[in-house]
Amino acid sequence: MISFSEKITRRIRTLSRRFPFVTFEIMGTSRLGAPLYALRVGYGAINIGYNAAHHANEWITTLLLLRFVREYCTACEANSALLENFTFYAIPLVNPDGVELVASCDQLTDWKANACGVDLNANYPASWEAGRVNKITQGYDRPGPRGYPGNTPLCEPESSALAAYTQLHDFALTLSLHTQGEEIYHRYREFDPPGANEIAAAMARASRYPLVDVPDESSHGGYRDWFIEYFNRPGFTIECGLGENPLPPKDFTSIYKDVAPLLWVPFNVSFYDLIK
């Protein structure tokens, strides 16, 4: 039986064969040694980074991101300005070990963490200690299916690899796909990155997803939190779809229909005059 990670590897290789301007690399490996792939599209000066599947039972986000990459590449064939203006990086499967657990066992549908029981989206160094206190208060004081932020920030190879890759490529903007809730998160604490509000408003207009603030008890330690705090640039979390995770494959088409227009919004070159 082909694993979920193997299926994703095949899709990535197919994209790189189909489109000559697509390359991929392994930015690191997971706790159990699975490759962490990053796709690169184009050669423009504006670097944009999208990622998916920080959480194991949100694996449908991997498929959403890869569908968008394919759509984006098809658009690039018709409009070379996308290739010339942007370099688009897509990291479709941040948590391959956790996704494999969920995909292979019907009893683990509640599992969000990586193979070591660490919630990767609580493992970044953005007020991590405050986030840790929040998690302990909520009962997440040890490795488990969800919530545990780890022993130290970036102690997990998956979060460490993505943070290093983000710094290496100096993203002007990042977007993280999660499920579920049909919401857009764009603020973190008192930070107000240039251009973030304008881009967020455009995302809301392009979709039916509202802009929502994350409550403090659920905040801190996330990738978006860290990106905004570290770079003071726009970072977004998109909560795709509604229901109980993992969202069923039958919902994929309707979710993508809602999300795709929103994913196109950051590829408006005029926004980057604001970010400067």
- Dump pLDDT digits (tens) for 72-123: 999 999 999 999 999 999 999 999 999 999 999 889 999 999 999 999 999 9
With H, G, I as helix, E, B as strand and everything else as coil, classify residue 32.
Answer: coil
Neighbour count for residue 159 (Cβ, 10 Å): 28
CATH topology of domain 4-275: Aminopeptidase (3.40.630)
Beta bridge partners of 187: none
Beta strand 22-29 with 35-42: parallel, antiparallel or unpaired? Answer: antiparallel
Alpha helices in 26-184 (DSSP H): 60-78, 81-85, 96-104, 128-137, 157-169
Residue type, position 62, single letter: T
Q: pTM of whole model > 0.85?
A: yes
pLDDT in tens, 204-254: 999 999 999 987 777 899 999 999 999 999 999 999 999 999 999 999 999
Active site residue 129: no
DSSP 213: P
Question: In this structure, is the dihedral angle defined by the CA atoms of residues 20, 22, 23 and 24, taken in order, positive or negative?
Answer: negative
d(CA 95, CA 75): 28
Half-sphere exposure of 194 (CA within 13 A, CB side): 9
Q: Give the residue extent of every domain in the chain.
A: 4-275
Catalytic residue among 71, 77, 239, 244: 239
